[in-house]
Structure formats: C-alpha cells, structure tokens
C-alpha cells in the first residue's frame, strides 16, 4: 500500500497521530491543526517534525486544503456542543462552526479524501451536527459506519464511552458488512485483541452499564446496592486488565505526596468519590476537570490496602471532623498521576510533557483527548 497523506484536524496532544502509528498503516501526517496553545506545545514536543498549524480551521481556505493533497482526515471536533453535562447547543454553539465549515468544504475539494475518522462524545449521535455529517457523506458517496465504544471493550479498565465514525470514499467498501445501526463494539470479523495481545469480547456490557444511572437504597457512601453490584460485576470481568498494570511503579514517598487528596477535599467530598484499588478492573472516565473538581471527573486510588473501605465509611457521618479526617486518611486516597491516565488512554511510553506544563494543564489536555488503542483499531478497520 502506498504511503497515505493524513490531515489531523483538532490535533490536541496527538492522540490521533499515536493511533495512526500504532495501526501500522503506512502514512505521514502532512499537517496538524489546532488553536490550543498548551496542546500545541505538547504536540510539538512529541512530534517536532510534523507541520503544526496553530490556526482556526475556518482560517484555512479551500486552496489551503487542496494544496495538502491528503488521503485521510482524522478529527475530533470540540465536544462541548454535544456533551450531556453541557448546554447541548449543538450546531447553534459557536464551537461547532469549524466542523460545519469542514462539511461545507468537503464536497468542493479537488480530490475527496479516501478515508475519514471522527471521534466525539456520546450524545453526538443524536445531534444535528451528526445529521449534517451523514448527509454530506451520503451525498459524496462515502460508505460509513458509526460506533459507540468504551475502552473496556478491548480489556482496558477505564469507562470512556465515545462516538466514532469511519468513512471510505467510493469505489471502496469496508472489509465488514456495514449497518445503519450504531455498533457497540468492533465487528466480529475483526481480530479482537486487547493492546496486550489478549483476546477480548466483541462488545461489552460494561461499556453500557457504566453509563446508566440507577436509584435505590443507599448502602454506604452515596452508593446504592445496584451501584455496588455493578462495580463488583466489572471487577470480576476477567477479560479486563487490572489497574495495577497501568500504575507508575516509582510513585512512592515524596513523589506521591502531591497527588494525595487534601483534607478539605476529603471532608467535603468523601461520599461522592469513586474509589478504586490497584486490583480493580474499572475506573470512571477522566475529564479535563480531574484533580481540580471532584464529582464526576474520574476515579481516585486507595493506595493503603491495609484498611477496609466499608469500615471507614460505615459510621463516618457520626464522627467529628477531626475523627472523620483521621479515618479517611487511613485509606491514603490519591489522584491518578497524569502519566497513569495517559497509560490508561493508550499513550505510549515515549509520550512526554514539556517540563513547563503544570499538573493541572496535563489533566486538562488528557481529559480532552481520546483512547489511542481504540482509534488505532478503527484506523486498521477503515483501511483494511
């Protein structure tokens, strides 16, 4: 296969670029485009030889696009217009403008790109932006398939359910039978191996179950019996690896102190924390607010295993603040480090941050990124 010329739009910290490399498809990124200064610094640090355009997509002309003569577009448009906790402004949100601009340009390009891969949040599949995307692809004659996939599907202990679309220009077609249904996993014809080479199932109930909210009697913390049962099921799922495989080994002593949850956070948010241990086979989605906000931004790790979690929480409400803090401190609860989150998201060991990027900035850009292993499998599927 000849070397494909790839355009990486909304390039962020380079998750798509790493996925392209992992896929093994012969390709080069001819341009990466993003306006985020922090993300661009990290991208340049890791891919110094890739042309990086620090400009808005609307600032690129049709001629700019045509000159790049690309065969593939990889893109992850801003998710804020579609996220479930946002305003869900959809195409009326100014941040959706650049994506609509791409859809407007696509049919007018001198050469249709052979392949397109798009990633976004769950919620995009019901948006007007998605309808506009599908309409444009159909008019241009593309074959395409939509997916909702979580990394648990390939044995990674992290729920990050995301929307993906892969498209192939005529006259090509995919190596699998496409459907108008959104697939919740990889097609059966693909080689379902996890990133460590182990066999994993085609689709995963974990991906779906971790997204549902249930109510019921509170058992301990702010968890219902159903929550606990769901977590137990996830932890007994042997096709998913344990968190300990993704943790840094040298996070001991002083180094780890900076990641311990501060007393104020423990006292205020203890009942809302999603607490996991190194032997767990699950963790909740890490968002850009991780380490800064507590609720719903990602799991925290219990690093002292000599203390029983349920015993700590059993009578917590009856204790004074000092006693409460004393109890909670026994668990040695800490945030996952940025490197550990990068590991869970499939970034290779050679991915590093420039020294001047703060911990808060690292969490922020990782929360905005994607799972490299999932995208690598989709690129392979799209091109094969």
Given 79, 153, 280, 285, the catalytic residue: 79
- In terms of Cβ atoms closer than 10 Å to its own Cβ (0-12, 13-18, 19+), residue 191 is exposed
Q: Is 154 helix (H, G, I), strand (E, B) or coil?
A: helix
Q: Is 365 helix (H, G, I), strand (E, B) or coil?
A: helix
In sequence order, the β-bridge partners of residue 73 are 7, 116
Residue 344 · residue 158 · CB < 8 Å: yes
Angle among Cα 197, 200, 201 to the nearest 5 degrees reads 160
Nearest by Cα to 370 from 185, 161, 186: 161
Nearest by Cα to 200 from 237, 234, 175: 237
Q: Is 378 helix (H, G, I), strand (E, B) or coil?
A: helix
Mark out the alpha helices in the chain (DSSP H runs): 15-23, 37-46, 62-68, 97-105, 128-139, 205-209, 225-235, 253-257, 263-269, 309-314, 321-329, 338-344, 359-367, 372-383
Q: In whole angstroms, what is the distance from residue 176 CA to residue 380 CA? A: 12
C-alpha distances (whole Å) from 120 to each of 81, 88, 239 are 10, 13, 26
How large is the C-alpha radius of gyration of the chain?
22
Is 79 annotated in the active site? yes
Strand ordering across the sheet containing 27-33: 52-53, 27-33, 4-9, 72-75, 115-121, 162-168, 143-149
Q: In whole angstroms, what is the distance from residue 200 CA to residue 229 CA? A: 22
Q: In whole angstroms, what is the distance from residue 150 CA to residue 161 CA? A: 4
Query: Catalytic amino acids?
Result: 79
């Amino acid at each position: 296969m000849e070397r494909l010329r790839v355009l990486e739009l909304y390039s962020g910290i380079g998750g798509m670029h790493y996925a392209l490399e992992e896929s093994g498809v012969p390709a080069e990124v001819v341009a990466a485009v993003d306006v985020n200064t922090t993300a661009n610094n990290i991208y340049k640090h890791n891919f110094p030889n890739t042309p990086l355009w620090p400009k808005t997509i609307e600032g690129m002309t049709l001629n700019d696009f045509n000159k790049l003569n690309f065969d593939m577009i990889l893109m992850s448009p801003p998710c804020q217009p579609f996220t479930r906790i946002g305003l869900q402004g959809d195409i009326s949100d100014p941040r959706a403008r650049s994506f609509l601009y791409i859809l407007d340009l696509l049919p007018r390009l001198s050469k249709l790109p052979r392949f397109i891969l798009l990633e976004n949040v769950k919620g995009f599949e019901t948006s007007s932006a998605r309808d506009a995307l599908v309409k444009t692809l159909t008019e241009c004659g593309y074959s395409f398939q939509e997916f909702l996939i979580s990394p648990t599907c390939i044995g990674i202990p992290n729920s990050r359910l995301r929307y993906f679309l892969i498209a192939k220009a005529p006259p090509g077609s995919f190596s699998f039978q496409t459907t108008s249904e959104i697939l919740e996993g990889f097609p059966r014809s693909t080689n379902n191996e996890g990133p460590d080479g182990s066999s994993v199932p085609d689709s995963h109930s974990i991906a779906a179950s971790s997204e549902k909210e249930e109510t019921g009697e509170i058992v301990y913390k702010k968890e219902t019996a159903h929550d606990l049962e769901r977590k137990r099921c996830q932890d007994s799922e042997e096709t998913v690896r344990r968190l300990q495989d993704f943790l840094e080994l040298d996070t001991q002593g002083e180094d780890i102190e900076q990641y311990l949850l501060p007393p104020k956070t423990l006292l205020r948010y203890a009942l809302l924390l999603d607490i996991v241990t190194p032997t767990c086979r699950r963790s909740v989605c890490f968002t850009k607010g991780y380490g800064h906000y507590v609720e719903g931004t990602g799991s925290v790790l219990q690093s002292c295993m000599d203390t029983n979690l349920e015993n700590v929480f059993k009578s917590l409400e009856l204790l004074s603040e000092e006693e409460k803090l004393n109890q909670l401190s026994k668990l040695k609860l800490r945030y996952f480090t940025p490197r550990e989150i990068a590991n869970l998201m499939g970034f290779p060991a050679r991915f590093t941050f420039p020294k001047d990027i703060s911990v808060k900035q690292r969490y922020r850009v990782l929360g905005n990124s994607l799972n490299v292993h999932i995208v690598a499998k989709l690129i392979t599927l799209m091109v094969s």
